[in-house]
Amino acid sequence: MSHEIAPREHTLAMPDGVALHVEDWLLAPGSARRGCLLLVHGLGEHVGRYRHVIRALLALGIEVRGLDQRGFGRSPGPRGAIPRDDALLDDLKLVYDEWCANRAERSFLLGHSMGGAVAARAATGGWIRPRALVLSSPALATRRSRLQDLALRIGRRLSPDRAVPSGLKADFVSRDAAVVAAYRSDPLNHGLITPRLAGFIVEAGPQAIAAAPEVAFPVLLLLATHDRLVDIAGARQFHDRLPPRLRTLQVYEGFYHEVFNEPDEDQARVLDDLKAWLNRMIDEASGGMHGGVGPG
Protein backbone atom coordinates (compact mmCIF):
# COMPACT_ATOMS: atom_id res chain seq x y z
CA MET A 1 0.00 0.00 0.00
CA SER A 2 1.15 3.58 -0.49
CA HIS A 3 1.82 5.74 2.54
CA GLU A 4 2.59 9.00 0.78
CA ILE A 5 -0.39 10.47 2.58
CA ALA A 6 -0.71 14.02 3.82
CA PRO A 7 -1.71 14.41 7.44
CA ARG A 8 -5.00 15.88 8.54
CA GLU A 9 -3.85 19.07 10.24
CA HIS A 10 -6.09 20.77 12.75
CA THR A 11 -6.11 22.27 16.23
CA LEU A 12 -7.42 21.06 19.57
CA ALA A 13 -8.48 23.68 22.10
CA MET A 14 -7.27 23.18 25.65
CA PRO A 15 -9.38 24.36 28.63
CA ASP A 16 -7.36 27.58 28.89
CA GLY A 17 -8.06 28.40 25.24
CA VAL A 18 -4.69 27.43 23.75
CA ALA A 19 -5.31 25.64 20.44
CA LEU A 20 -2.59 23.02 19.94
CA HIS A 21 -1.43 22.14 16.43
CA VAL A 22 -2.18 18.48 15.73
CA GLU A 23 -1.40 16.19 12.79
CA ASP A 24 -3.38 12.98 12.29
CA TRP A 25 -1.90 10.41 9.92
CA LEU A 26 -4.60 7.98 8.80
CA LEU A 27 -4.31 4.78 6.81
CA ALA A 28 -5.68 4.59 3.30
CA PRO A 29 -9.32 3.47 3.10
CA GLY A 30 -9.57 -0.29 3.21
CA SER A 31 -6.25 -0.75 5.02
CA ALA A 32 -6.24 -2.89 8.16
CA ARG A 33 -5.85 -0.69 11.23
CA ARG A 34 -3.80 -2.42 13.93
CA GLY A 35 -3.44 0.38 16.45
CA CYS A 36 -3.07 4.07 17.19
CA LEU A 37 -0.09 5.99 18.54
CA LEU A 38 0.52 9.47 19.93
CA LEU A 39 3.98 10.92 19.25
CA VAL A 40 5.47 13.56 21.55
CA HIS A 41 8.44 15.66 20.34
CA GLY A 42 11.42 16.99 22.28
CA LEU A 43 12.65 20.37 23.48
CA GLY A 44 12.89 23.14 20.92
CA GLU A 45 11.45 21.15 18.02
CA HIS A 46 8.11 20.06 16.54
CA VAL A 47 6.25 17.04 15.22
CA GLY A 48 7.10 17.79 11.58
CA ARG A 49 10.60 16.39 12.18
CA TYR A 50 9.17 12.88 12.66
CA ARG A 51 7.47 12.25 9.35
CA HIS A 52 9.85 9.42 8.40
CA VAL A 53 9.06 7.73 11.72
CA ILE A 54 5.36 8.22 11.17
CA ARG A 55 5.52 6.64 7.71
CA ALA A 56 7.28 3.60 9.18
CA LEU A 57 4.47 3.26 11.71
CA LEU A 58 1.80 3.61 9.05
CA ALA A 59 3.44 0.70 7.23
CA LEU A 60 2.66 -1.42 10.30
CA GLY A 61 -1.00 -0.44 10.19
CA ILE A 62 -0.65 2.01 13.09
CA GLU A 63 -2.35 5.37 12.71
CA VAL A 64 -0.40 8.22 14.26
CA ARG A 65 -1.21 11.51 15.90
CA GLY A 66 1.53 14.04 16.56
CA LEU A 67 1.16 17.34 18.33
CA ASP A 68 3.24 20.46 18.72
CA GLN A 69 3.29 21.02 22.46
CA ARG A 70 2.36 24.49 23.68
CA GLY A 71 5.17 26.95 23.13
CA PHE A 72 6.69 24.82 20.35
CA GLY A 73 6.34 24.49 16.60
CA ARG A 74 3.03 25.73 15.25
CA SER A 75 1.25 25.69 18.59
CA PRO A 76 0.74 29.07 20.27
CA GLY A 77 2.08 30.27 23.56
CA PRO A 78 5.30 31.94 24.67
CA ARG A 79 8.25 29.96 23.32
CA GLY A 80 9.56 27.33 25.70
CA ALA A 81 7.08 28.28 28.42
CA ILE A 82 4.31 26.58 30.38
CA PRO A 83 1.71 28.41 32.49
CA ARG A 84 1.86 25.84 35.33
CA ASP A 85 3.90 22.79 36.20
CA ASP A 86 1.44 20.15 34.95
CA ALA A 87 0.33 21.96 31.80
CA LEU A 88 2.06 19.61 29.33
CA LEU A 89 0.69 16.57 31.17
CA ASP A 90 -2.87 17.88 31.14
CA ASP A 91 -2.53 18.80 27.45
CA LEU A 92 -1.22 15.35 26.62
CA LYS A 93 -4.09 13.60 28.38
CA LEU A 94 -6.71 15.54 26.42
CA VAL A 95 -4.95 15.00 23.09
CA TYR A 96 -4.39 11.29 23.79
CA ASP A 97 -7.91 10.62 25.04
CA GLU A 98 -9.47 12.35 22.04
CA TRP A 99 -7.25 10.39 19.65
CA CYS A 100 -7.65 6.94 21.17
CA ALA A 101 -11.28 7.23 22.22
CA ASN A 102 -13.58 4.70 20.53
CA ARG A 103 -10.59 2.69 19.25
CA ALA A 104 -10.54 -0.97 20.17
CA GLU A 105 -6.98 -1.56 18.94
CA ARG A 106 -3.81 -1.20 20.90
CA SER A 107 -2.96 2.38 21.79
CA PHE A 108 0.69 3.41 22.04
CA LEU A 109 2.56 6.43 23.35
CA LEU A 110 5.99 7.45 22.00
CA GLY A 111 8.03 10.30 23.45
CA HIS A 112 11.47 11.63 22.55
CA SER A 113 13.82 13.56 24.85
CA MET A 114 11.72 16.16 26.70
CA GLY A 115 8.72 14.44 25.14
CA GLY A 116 10.00 11.22 26.68
CA ALA A 117 9.98 12.86 30.12
CA VAL A 118 6.44 14.14 29.50
CA ALA A 119 5.27 10.74 28.24
CA ALA A 120 6.95 8.80 31.07
CA ARG A 121 5.53 11.10 33.74
CA ALA A 122 2.06 11.05 32.19
CA ALA A 123 2.04 7.25 31.87
CA THR A 124 3.39 6.56 35.36
CA GLY A 125 1.51 9.36 37.12
CA GLY A 126 -2.05 8.54 36.08
CA TRP A 127 -2.65 11.06 33.31
CA ILE A 128 -2.49 8.37 30.60
CA ARG A 129 -2.48 4.59 30.73
CA PRO A 130 -1.25 3.43 27.33
CA ARG A 131 -1.23 -0.17 26.20
CA ALA A 132 2.53 0.24 25.67
CA LEU A 133 5.13 3.03 25.94
CA VAL A 134 8.18 3.84 23.79
CA LEU A 135 10.83 6.26 25.07
CA SER A 136 13.55 7.55 22.74
CA SER A 137 16.48 9.22 24.55
CA PRO A 138 14.11 10.36 27.31
CA ALA A 139 15.20 13.28 29.47
CA LEU A 140 14.79 11.39 32.75
CA ALA A 141 18.07 12.80 34.03
CA THR A 142 19.94 15.93 32.97
CA ARG A 143 23.53 17.04 33.34
CA ARG A 144 23.67 20.15 35.50
CA SER A 145 26.42 21.88 37.43
CA ARG A 146 25.92 23.23 40.95
CA LEU A 147 25.85 26.72 39.48
CA GLN A 148 23.11 25.70 37.05
CA ASP A 149 21.11 24.13 39.88
CA LEU A 150 21.41 27.35 41.86
CA ALA A 151 20.37 29.46 38.85
CA LEU A 152 17.36 27.20 38.29
CA ARG A 153 16.23 27.49 41.92
CA ILE A 154 16.56 31.27 41.82
CA GLY A 155 14.86 31.51 38.43
CA ARG A 156 11.90 29.37 39.51
CA ARG A 157 11.38 31.62 42.51
CA LEU A 158 12.01 35.06 41.00
CA SER A 159 11.26 34.82 37.26
CA PRO A 160 9.71 31.44 36.42
CA ASP A 161 8.33 32.58 33.06
CA ARG A 162 11.32 34.47 31.69
CA ALA A 163 12.67 32.62 28.65
CA VAL A 164 16.42 32.06 28.45
CA PRO A 165 18.59 30.09 26.01
CA SER A 166 18.19 26.36 26.57
CA GLY A 167 21.82 25.61 25.81
CA LEU A 168 20.87 22.76 23.48
CA LYS A 169 23.76 22.32 21.02
CA ALA A 170 22.64 21.27 17.55
CA ASP A 171 25.99 19.60 16.86
CA PHE A 172 25.06 16.88 19.35
CA VAL A 173 21.64 16.12 17.85
CA SER A 174 22.94 13.67 15.22
CA ARG A 175 26.14 12.44 13.59
CA ASP A 176 24.53 13.26 10.24
CA ALA A 177 25.69 16.73 9.15
CA ALA A 178 22.59 17.16 6.98
CA VAL A 179 20.33 16.59 9.99
CA VAL A 180 22.27 19.13 12.02
CA ALA A 181 22.09 21.71 9.22
CA ALA A 182 18.35 21.13 8.79
CA TYR A 183 17.83 21.46 12.55
CA ARG A 184 19.62 24.82 12.60
CA SER A 185 17.73 26.21 9.58
CA ASP A 186 14.26 24.99 10.62
CA PRO A 187 12.18 28.12 11.34
CA LEU A 188 9.88 26.16 13.65
CA ASN A 189 12.72 25.18 16.00
CA HIS A 190 13.79 27.48 18.81
CA GLY A 191 16.34 27.49 21.63
CA LEU A 192 14.34 28.94 24.53
CA ILE A 193 13.23 27.57 27.88
CA THR A 194 11.79 29.09 31.03
CA PRO A 195 12.73 28.14 34.60
CA ARG A 196 9.22 26.76 35.09
CA LEU A 197 9.58 24.37 32.15
CA ALA A 198 13.14 23.46 33.10
CA GLY A 199 11.98 22.69 36.62
CA PHE A 200 9.21 20.46 35.32
CA ILE A 201 11.69 18.46 33.21
CA VAL A 202 14.16 18.15 36.09
CA GLU A 203 11.44 16.79 38.41
CA ALA A 204 9.50 14.64 35.91
CA GLY A 205 12.31 12.13 35.45
CA PRO A 206 12.83 11.23 39.13
CA GLN A 207 9.05 11.07 39.61
CA ALA A 208 8.71 8.60 36.73
CA ILE A 209 11.67 6.57 38.01
CA ALA A 210 10.11 6.37 41.48
CA ALA A 211 6.84 5.07 40.00
CA ALA A 212 8.48 2.56 37.62
CA PRO A 213 7.97 -0.55 39.81
CA GLU A 214 4.19 -0.06 39.59
CA VAL A 215 4.07 0.11 35.79
CA ALA A 216 1.63 -2.40 34.28
CA PHE A 217 2.33 -1.99 30.54
CA PRO A 218 5.29 -2.88 28.30
CA VAL A 219 8.01 -0.25 27.86
CA LEU A 220 10.66 0.02 25.14
CA LEU A 221 13.66 2.29 25.73
CA LEU A 222 15.90 3.38 22.84
CA LEU A 223 19.15 4.92 24.11
CA ALA A 224 22.37 6.26 22.58
CA THR A 225 25.73 5.76 24.28
CA HIS A 226 27.10 9.10 23.00
CA ASP A 227 24.09 11.18 24.00
CA ARG A 228 25.45 14.53 25.21
CA LEU A 229 22.07 16.24 25.55
CA VAL A 230 20.53 14.04 28.26
CA ASP A 231 22.08 11.74 30.84
CA ILE A 232 21.09 8.20 29.86
CA ALA A 233 21.72 7.07 33.43
CA GLY A 234 18.20 8.25 34.23
CA ALA A 235 16.67 6.08 31.51
CA ARG A 236 18.76 3.10 32.62
CA GLN A 237 17.56 3.57 36.18
CA PHE A 238 13.96 3.77 34.97
CA HIS A 239 14.47 0.55 33.00
CA ASP A 240 16.05 -1.27 35.94
CA ARG A 241 13.11 -0.40 38.21
CA LEU A 242 10.47 -1.58 35.76
CA PRO A 243 8.97 -5.07 36.19
CA PRO A 244 11.39 -7.33 34.26
CA ARG A 245 8.70 -8.95 32.12
CA LEU A 246 7.55 -5.55 30.85
CA ARG A 247 10.85 -3.91 29.90
CA THR A 248 12.93 -3.91 26.72
CA LEU A 249 16.16 -1.94 26.36
CA GLN A 250 17.98 -1.13 23.11
CA VAL A 251 21.29 0.72 23.49
CA TYR A 252 23.03 1.96 20.33
CA GLU A 253 26.79 2.19 20.58
CA GLY A 254 28.24 5.44 19.27
CA PHE A 255 24.88 6.99 18.41
CA TYR A 256 23.98 10.61 19.21
CA HIS A 257 20.81 11.92 20.84
CA GLU A 258 18.29 11.62 18.01
CA VAL A 259 18.43 7.89 17.33
CA PHE A 260 15.72 8.23 14.66
CA ASN A 261 17.86 10.78 12.80
CA GLU A 262 21.24 9.11 12.64
CA PRO A 263 22.93 8.27 9.29
CA ASP A 264 20.84 6.10 6.97
CA GLU A 265 21.86 2.56 7.95
CA ASP A 266 21.79 3.38 11.66
CA GLN A 267 18.44 5.12 11.34
CA ALA A 268 17.04 2.07 9.56
CA ARG A 269 18.31 -0.19 12.35
CA VAL A 270 16.47 1.83 15.01
CA LEU A 271 13.26 1.93 12.99
CA ASP A 272 13.50 -1.84 12.42
CA ASP A 273 13.89 -2.41 16.16
CA LEU A 274 10.90 -0.17 16.87
CA LYS A 275 8.73 -1.92 14.29
CA ALA A 276 9.72 -5.39 15.49
CA TRP A 277 8.80 -4.53 19.07
CA LEU A 278 5.47 -2.95 18.11
CA ASN A 279 4.66 -5.94 15.91
CA ARG A 280 5.33 -8.21 18.87
CA MET A 281 3.06 -6.13 21.12
CA ILE A 282 0.27 -6.26 18.56
CA ASP A 283 0.69 -9.98 17.89
CA GLU A 284 0.66 -10.81 21.60
CA ALA A 285 -2.53 -8.81 22.07
CA SER A 286 -4.15 -10.52 19.11
CA GLY A 287 -3.22 -13.90 20.55
CA GLY A 288 -4.68 -13.05 23.93
CA MET A 289 -1.29 -12.84 25.63
CA HIS A 290 -1.98 -9.81 27.77
CA GLY A 291 1.22 -9.93 29.80
CA GLY A 292 -0.13 -7.58 32.40
CA VAL A 293 -1.02 -4.89 29.90
CA GLY A 294 -3.74 -2.61 31.18
CA PRO A 295 -6.50 -1.00 29.14
CA GLY A 296 -5.47 2.01 27.13
Q: Please tell me which residue in 21, 41, 190, 257 is annotated as part of the active site.
A: 257
The mean pLDDT of 83-93, rounded to a whole number, is 97
> Which of 112, 128, 104 is closest to 274 using CA atoms?
112
pLDDT band of 238, cuts 50, 70, 90: very high
Q: Pick the residue with more confidence: 39 or 291?
A: 39
The mean pLDDT of 12-28, rounded to a whole number, is 96
What is the tens place of the pLDDT at every residue in 105-117?
A: 579 999 999 999 9
Q: Are strands 132-136 and 106-112 parallel, antiparallel or unpaired?
A: parallel
What is the tens place of the pLDDT at every residue in 135-145?
A: 999 999 988 87
Q: Residue 291 above 90 pLDDT?
A: no
Q: Is 257 a catalytic residue?
A: yes
pLDDT band of 4, cuts 50, 70, 90: low
What is the C-alpha to C-alpha distance for residues 227 and 185, in angstroms, rounded to an integer? 22
Q: Residue 27 above 90 pLDDT?
A: yes
Q: Is 3 a catalytic residue?
A: no
- As a whole number, the mean pLDDT across the chain is 93
Please indicate, yes or no, whether the overall pTM of this predicted structure exceeds 0.85: yes
Spatial strand order of the sheet with 62-67 comes to 8-13, 19-25, 62-67, 35-40, 106-112, 132-136, 219-224, 247-252
66 three-state secondary structure: strand
Q: Please tell me which residue in 68, 91, 176, 227 is annotated as part of the active site.
A: 227
What is the C-alpha to C-alpha distance for residues 139 and 202, in angstroms, rounded to an integer? 8
Q: Please tell me which residue in 21, 46, 112, 113 is annotated as part of the active site.
A: 113
Q: Is 239 a catalytic residue?
A: no
Question: Are residues 116 and 139 in contact, defined by beta-carbon separation less than 8 angstroms?
Answer: yes
Q: Residue 261 above 80 pLDDT?
A: yes
How much is the pLDDT for 294? 32
Structural domains for the chain:
8-286 (3.40.50.1820)
Q: Residue 241 above 70 pLDDT?
A: yes
Q: Pick the residue with more confidence: 147 or 83?
A: 83
Question: Are residues 208 and 236 in contact, defined by beta-carbon separation less than 8 angstroms?
Answer: no
pLDDT band of 102, cuts 50, 70, 90: low
Q: Residue 290 above 50 pLDDT?
A: no
> Which of 99, 102, 51, 95 is closest to 75 using CA atoms?
95
Crossing angle of the two packed helices 51-58 and 264-286, in degrees rounded to 10: 40
Q: Pick the residue with more confidence: 153 or 252?
A: 252
